Structure 1
């Protein structure tokens, strides 16, 4: 029996299970206006950022934890739903064979460019056509680590609210502002106020160490396989390159963003 205040679900065919499982697909996330996040640490980061899930799903076989108790109490106080189910059903919902003990359903966060305050920090990350959700989540984590004012996703990027991206962000999905825009909208927005656009590039680029960075600095990386379009690079204020001393001709996009972000942070942070 579930504790009072919780709803117990024991069947895989339950309509709620099917609806929550469907949130792993982008079309259902967009249709329902909700996304999934999994893990006590991640949900605690959300709670500490003032963001609570509308639905909290907990595995019946789990260890007691004061943070989970606080999360459940806050969700219930806010009028949210608390569900208790088996680890197998929770795994079906999240798509993991070994799921964590708790998951939450959240409303999408704002992603307009207006959500980005360029005075909030000396550094921002920008990704163009980033297709791998793991890379996107890693960039969010990097943005949080360097105190960036946000991550701006330009053109057709992976969905930041997909399960893999949320998981890879390690909670940064709730701490770092996100914006999504086409290049033709992003560039005029950037030029409407202060901001230096710096691209990781191989075209007429200067060494990334000691380059003349200025705040606020928008660090731009391109698609994992194609890099940045030439006209996008031409529109940048500064193009920098990192040395490749082995056989590899480039770094992973998220890794390049992290290396460059810390160099910029050292210069303008």
Structure 2
């Protein structure tokens, strides 16, 4: 039974050497996140977005020196009702946990989501984003944020991508990690899954490409971008249903991968909504 008063279920931690602090700090490391099946998120807005999407932290960590806020009260009540752990600690210790010199007032530990292709419903959205070998967690988080903005169903990560549940990627997603489905697969797994049903695979490319404006996009449309420095492998591009190109008016020969995905996704959205 949850405590009738959330304050009664709080636990105060004041020492850097506390085992719980060490455990929470370890979640900044991918191998520990994978072993535990959880991830860290920080900030009132991000945790509030999570709560509104039905994700309640297993553990809520709050800074002792913080201003009262009804959204923090709502988080505390939800965690307490779910039987979670509520920890109050110093801002310095919270900074050690999150890896930020100026941490926000709250952080939370969440269960990782099911990232299998089988968990996706391709008919749930007209647009899906796909990233191959994306290495920058900031780019990954930006793609999640873009997916939320265009109403995409989610982000599919192909081959060796950055961890979507790293503190940096979660932070860059601005809460979209809780609104977007995330799946991880090898190229062979992905293309096999895609060809089992409807789905147009589109890539930004220079090989036999048509202008991205006015191209014949069809739903559900899977918009794919490649590695930041190397782009997509040639055989991956060859497997696409449509290859499109975006004009470069200056000296740059390409866009940032996450930016290219956003530009292309909005064009697809415009086409599919006409």
Q: Which whole-Å CA distance do the structure 2 matches of 1:42 and 1:200 have between them?
A: 31
Q: Which whole-Å CA distance do the structure 2 matches of 1:83 and 1:127 have between them?
A: 37
Give, in angstroms, the shift of residue 4 of structure 1: 2.4
1:190 is matched with which residue: 187, 194, 219? 194
Q: Within the alignment, does 1:70 sit opposite 2:74 as a pair?
A: yes
Tell me which residue corresponds to 2:257. Answer: 253
Q: Which whole-Å CA distance do the structure 1 matches of 2:197 and 2:69 have between them?
A: 46
TM-score (structure 2 length as normaliser): 0.97
2:241 is matched with which residue: 237, 240, 245? 237
Unaligned runs of 5+ in 1: none
TM-score (structure 1 length as normaliser): 0.98
Q: Within the alignment, does 1:21 sit opposite 2:25 as a pair?
A: yes
Tell me which residue corresponds to 2:88. Answer: 84
Tell me which residue corresponds to 2:176. Answer: 172
Give, in angstroms, the shift of residue 122 of structure 1: 0.6
Q: Within the alignment, does 1:206 sit opposite 2:210 as a pair?
A: yes
Unaligned runs of 5+ in 2: 1-5
1:132 is matched with which residue: 123, 136, 160? 136
Spell out, residue by residue over 1:169-208, the C-alpha distance to the aligned partner (whole angstroms, 9 max, x if none): 0001111000000000100110110000000111111110
Q: Which whole-Å CA distance do the structure 2 matches of 1:192 and 1:266 have between them?
A: 26
Spell out, residue by residue over 1:14-40, the C-alpha distance to the aligned partner (whole angstroms, 9 max, x if none): 110010001000001011111100001
1:143 is matched with which residue: 123, 144, 147? 147
Give, in angstroms, the shift of residue 3 of structure 1: 4.0
